[in-house]
Amino acid sequence: MTHIRSHILAALAVAGIFVSAPAFAQSSACQEGQKILQERQGLIQQINKLTNGGKNKKLDPREACTIFSKLVTNGAAGQKWMTDNKDWCQVPDQLVQSFSEDHKRSQQFKGQACGAAAKMAEMEKRAKQQAQQGGAAGKMGGGLTGTLSVPKGAL
């Protein structure tokens, strides 16, 4: 997760160049880009809270999936905005490239987090079904509540 954090922080540092660009105040289209980047920064802060600044190795995949889904949506909007307004708002090529790479990483992390969340949901569903069926699914075959016969006689 610290790998994610370092890439995101690097992208934000580049975004800082973008936010301070002199042409930013020229157009409402340029101000829209600023809103997208501010929203992105807020989402990254949420991710940092989940990871406790990179100190927490365990994440709740459901929370991570939700935040990364929003981050991917934001990234798609950001890429479209940059494509449409790059020249008018004087967006540096370095920012466009960095943002694109960051967006690809966000998509990968979203896939991992949402995949883990789906597996957790499936495991919880199965556990609930087993609990409703009395928990015993045979001799140690379906869970820890089964019975095991000890062989009689000499081993």
Instruction: Convert the pLDDT of each residue in 17-75 to its tens digit.
Output: 444 444 444 578 889 999 999 999 999 999 888 877 666 667 788 999 999 999 999 99
Residue 149: CB partners within 8 Å, gap ≥ 6?
Answer: 139
Residue 6's pLDDT is 44
How many percent of the chain have pLDDT more than 70?
A: 65
Angstrom CA distances, 11 to 58, 106, 112, 116, stand at: 24, 12, 21, 26
In whole angstroms, how large is the CA radius of gyration of the chain? 24
Greatest mean pLDDT range, 3-7, 99-103, 129-133? 99-103
The reported pLDDT for the residue numbered 49 is: 86
Q: Give the burial class of 102: count Cβ atoms within 10 A of its Cβ; 0-12 exposed, 13-18 middle, 19 or more buried.
A: buried
**pLDDT above 90: residue 81:** yes
Provide the pLDDT for residue 154: 64
Higher-pLDDT residue of 42 and 151 is 42
| CB 9, CB 90: distance < 8 Å | no
